[in-house]
Amino acid sequence: MSLVKWIDFQSLGDERGSLVAVEVGMDKAVPFDIKRVYYIYHTEKKVSRGYHAHKKLKQVAICVAGKCRMVLDDGKKREEVWLDSPTKGLVIEDMTWREMHDFSDDCVLLVLASEHYDESDYIRDYEEFKKLNGNKL
Ligand code: T46
pLDDT of res. 25: 77
Q: Is the CB of 39 under 6 A from ligand 1?
A: no
Residue type (1 letter), 19: L
**Arithmetic mean of pLDDT, 28-48:** 94
Tell which atom from ligand 1 comes closest to the C-alpha of 51.
Answer: 27
**Prediction pTM value:** 0.96
Query: Of 26 and 59, which is predicted with more confidence?
Result: 59
Domains of the chain in sequence order: 5-11+29-132 (2.60.120.10)
Q: Read out DSSP for 28-83?
A: SSBSS---EEEEEESPPTT--EEEEEESS--EEEEEEES-EEEEEE-SS-EEEEEE
| Ligand 1 pocket mutation, candidates 117, 123, 126, criterion most atoms within 8 A of CB | 117
Tell which atom from ligand 1 comes closest to the C-alpha of 92.
Answer: 34
